[in-house]
Amino acid sequence: MNSDLIYRLSQEYLPVLEEELRFIVMDSTTSTELVGQMLHYHMGWDDSVQYDGVSGKRIRPLLTLLCAQAVGGHWRNAIVIAAAVELIHNFSLIHDDIQDRSRLRRGRPTVWSLWGTEQAINAGDALFAHAHLVVQKDDVLSPESKLDALRLIDETCLSLTEGQAADLEFEKKNKIELGAYMSMVEGKTASLIATSTELGVLVAGASEEQRMHYRDFGYALGIAYQVRDDFLGVWGKSSTTGKPTGDDFRARKKTLPIILGLERSDELCALYKQAPQSDAELGTVIILLEETGVLEEVESIEFDKVEIALGKLSNACPKGDAGEALVSLARQLLGRER
């Protein structure tokens, strides 16, 4: 794993991306003072908070830039489209926090918990609009490629919505099939990561075949990413993830560990049918999941999905340092702690 290479390219790419994001979001002609304040806060540009995870990991736009370079293009030509990817991601986060009633994101209060649900919806909608406007204004893409990019973005937003709707619906069901979970994850998480990778090579003028290879890579990586998120929802440390440990359990979400656990433990099934009583129940849940081998199986599924992603990437024959960094990044995401 070449962590130094990922760090070097991130240090080259991400400051330029951040500058582009600030320019887009803080454009005074398209944001009122209140909307600008909420977006400034959510995007992690609040200097009063000293926490290196506040702005997020920027994984999706980094993938876009790396893919553009790996297919033979130049990453700078993909800066605008990478910014659009990150804006769509953050629009979805603001709305997800509202729907999940999550009070913490990246270690600090969420937008809705500070400004209220109604204003947080406005903030999310603003990011959605910014993402579309910036693609329309891009001077690198041809008119045909702009339409293609906007189509991909809108199809992804539909997938995000369908995935989130399924995730919420799962909370009302006592049993979820693994296949239904995977379909939900494809929409909620994998679709945007797949679009992130495909958009990068679209900007670089890649062939349809190359686009599909990179999209398949993104899909498999996105599933692995969500599986790890589900793992961290049970076994992660709040100080590292920036989210309260056990939130998914208290909301009775059907994440992968819980789906597998419900199949194996009658005690867990009985516990999940009750209203949450105390935080001590989380300790019982963890014990039950570990006793039934769920921890090991979740890690195994994550590993398998990363290997599938790497196989798809190999089919794309990525070039140079960016190609090597994509391989390393996929392996680095395996077993991440936040």
Note the pLDDT tens digit of each residue in 291-324.
999 999 999 999 999 999 999 999 999 999 999 9
Which CATH number is 283's domain given? Answer: 1.10.600.10
Average pLDDT over residues 214-219: 98
Share of the chain above pLDDT 70, in %: 95
Domain presence at residue 36: yes
| Cα torsion through 40, 121, 159, 15, rounded to 10 | 0
Average pLDDT over the chain, rounded to whole?
A: 92
CB neighbours (10 Å) of residue 158? 11
92: left (phi over 0), alpha (psi -120 to 50) or beta: alpha
pTM score of the predicted model = 0.93
CB neighbours (10 Å) of residue 153? 21
- For residue 55, the model assigns a pLDDT of 65
Band (48; pLDDT cuts 50, 70, 90): low
Domain presence at residue 293: yes
Q: Are 210 and 309 in contact (CB under 8 A)?
A: no
The pairs formed by 298-304 with CB atoms below 8 angstroms and a separation of 24 or more are: 298/227, 298/230, 298/231, 298/256, 298/257, 298/260, 299/231, 299/335, 301/227, 301/256, 302/224, 302/227, 302/228, 302/231, 302/334, 302/335, 303/334
Average pLDDT over residues 82-104: 96
Residue 139 scores a pLDDT above 90: yes
Average pLDDT over residues 21-37: 81
- For residue 323, the model assigns a pLDDT of 97
**How confident is the model over 221-240, as pLDDT tens digits?**
999 999 999 999 889 887 78
Band (28; pLDDT cuts 50, 70, 90): low
Of 30 and 77, more confident: 77
- For residue 30, the model assigns a pLDDT of 58
Q: Are 214 and 316 in contact (CB under 8 A)?
A: yes
Tracing tokens 């979970």 back to the chain, one arrives at 181
Provide the domain limits for residue 26: 3-333
Q: Are 21 and 87 in contact (CB under 8 A)?
A: yes
Average pLDDT over residues 260-286: 86
Band (56; pLDDT cuts 50, 70, 90): confident
Of 26 and 182, more confident: 182
Share of the chain above pLDDT 90, in %: 76
How many domains does one find in the chain? 1
Beta strand spans in 146-274 (E)? none
Band (31; pLDDT cuts 50, 70, 90): low
Residue 245 scores a pLDDT above 90: no
Residue 176 scores a pLDDT above 70: yes
How many Å apart are CA 73 and CA 88, to the nearest integer? 23
Band (277; pLDDT cuts 50, 70, 90): low
Domain presence at residue 273: yes
How many Å apart are CA 230 and CA 227, to the nearest integer? 5
- For residue 240, the model assigns a pLDDT of 80
Residue 159 scores a pLDDT above 80: yes
- In order of 85, 86, 120, the CA distances from 98 in angstroms are 21, 19, 8
Domain presence at residue 338: no
Domain presence at residue 98: yes
Average pLDDT over residues 161-169: 95
- For residue 333, the model assigns a pLDDT of 86
Average pLDDT over residues 94-108: 92
Backbone Cα Rg of the chain: 20
